[in-house]
Amino acid sequence: MQREPVQIVLASSLAQREPAIARWITSGRGSLAFILGDEDCRYRLLADGINWDRVLIASRSDGVIGYAAFKHHRLGPFSPGLAPFVREFGWLGGTLRYGLFMISECREWYYGFYLYGLRVHKVARRQGIASTLLQAVFEQALGGGHEKVELEVQAKNLAARAFYARHGFVPIRTLRWLSRLMPIPTVINLRRTLSPLSRVPTK
Ligand SMILES: CC(C)(COP(=O)(O)OP(=O)(O)OC[C@H]1O[C@@H](n2cnc3c(N)ncnc32)[C@H](O)[C@@H]1OP(=O)(O)O)[C@@H](O)C(=O)NCCC(=O)NCCS
């Protein structure tokens, strides 16, 4: 059966910012739940500070089916203020959690162009959606003057590792020290070098 082609746009170009999209994007970062709380809490903390020009949206006529969030030039998908943290956790707890979140964000600064998150709705997987999003991510990186894309993937996320391996990402190092310092899973830093003609295999 012929599939409807997927549309990829920068979220900042959309006329409307749908709360459902913000909710989906902020539901990522589950590994930081000990700082950011559960999904509802992450939405309250982060939704007002989304940088929509750091989010690519994949959609078909039936709605949004995937997104990719990225970080470069020191700006990622989230720039939350301190206020929602204080509202949520009080002065002391809020400031501490805000500080920890900012430290975890700084960790990604040295990557240059960092793929912060990539997700496709369960019902739309294995249809090439993430591959199409990745191609758009590469274009963003090249457009921003970057020659490589880096990311961190949880070591236990075998599906994502297979996906990134298929797209030419190679492991650089395993970050075990992070999981010794904080209750977060072991992650692997992956890198893909780009050339101006970099294309991903799509279906
Ligand atoms: C990983 C993820 C983004 C892949 O999205 P997708 O749209 O299904 O990926 P594609 O259809 O473009 O897959 C392209 C290729 O990647 C590989 N791949 C994708 N999912 C795979 C899986 N579950 N197991 C093994 N290989 C997989 C395959 O080689 C696939 O080609 P094929 O379907 O012809 O075999 C999706 O499974 C997802 O959203 N997972 C949850 C969030 C997540 O883990 N994100 C990545 C961490 S940052």
Residue 117 pLDDT grade (very low, low, confident, very high; cuts 50, 70, 90): very high
The alpha carbon of 133 and the centre of ligand 1 are apart by a number of angstroms equal to 11
pLDDT score for 15: 80
Nearest ligand 1 atom, CA 203:
34
pLDDT score for 99: 94
End-to-end CA distance of the chain: 13
Task: Inform me whether the pLDDT recorded for 86 exceeds 70.
Answer: yes
> Does residue 126 have its Cβ closer than 6 Å to ligand 1?
yes
pTM: 0.92
pLDDT score for 16: 79
> Does residue 69 have its Cβ closer than 6 Å to ligand 1?
no
Which two three-digit tokens encode residue 172?
Answer: 């650089």
Mean local confidence (pLDDT), 162-167: 98
Residue with tokens 């900012």, as numbered in its chain: 102
Mean of pLDDT over the chain: 91
Which two three-digit tokens encode residue 85?
Answer: 């943290």
User: In 18-150, where does DSSP find H-type helix?
Assistant: 19-26, 33-36, 39-46, 83-106, 129-143
pLDDT score for 202: 59
Domains of the chain, by residue range, sit at 7-193
Mean local confidence (pLDDT), 177-186: 76
Nearest alpha-carbon partner for 32 in 102, 136, 124: 102
User: What percentage of the chain carries pLDDT values higher than 70?
Assistant: 95
pLDDT tens-digit readout, 6-27: 999 999 998 878 888 999 999 9
Pick the residue whose CA is nearest to atom 3 on ligand 1: 119
Pick the residue whose CA is nearest to atom 35 on ligand 1: 126
Pick the residue whose CA is nearest to atom 31 on ligand 1: 126
Residue 154 pLDDT grade (very low, low, confident, very high; cuts 50, 70, 90): very high
pLDDT score for 37: 94
pLDDT score for 29: 80
Q: Between residues 176 and 12, which one has the greater pLDDT?
A: 12
* CA distance to 62, 109, 159, per residue, from 75 (Å): 31, 9, 28
The alpha carbon of 192 and the centre of ligand 1 are apart by a number of angstroms equal to 16
Nearest ligand 1 atom, CA 129:
7
Mean local confidence (pLDDT), 121-149: 95
Longest C-alpha distance within the chain, in Å? 57
Task: Inform me whether the pLDDT recorded for 169 exceeds 80.
Answer: yes
The CATH code of domain 7-193 reads 3.40.630.30
> Does residue 116 have its Cβ closer than 6 Å to ligand 1?
no
Which residue from 57, 114, 125, 131 has its CB within 8 A of the most atoms of ligand 1, so it is best to mutate?
A: 125
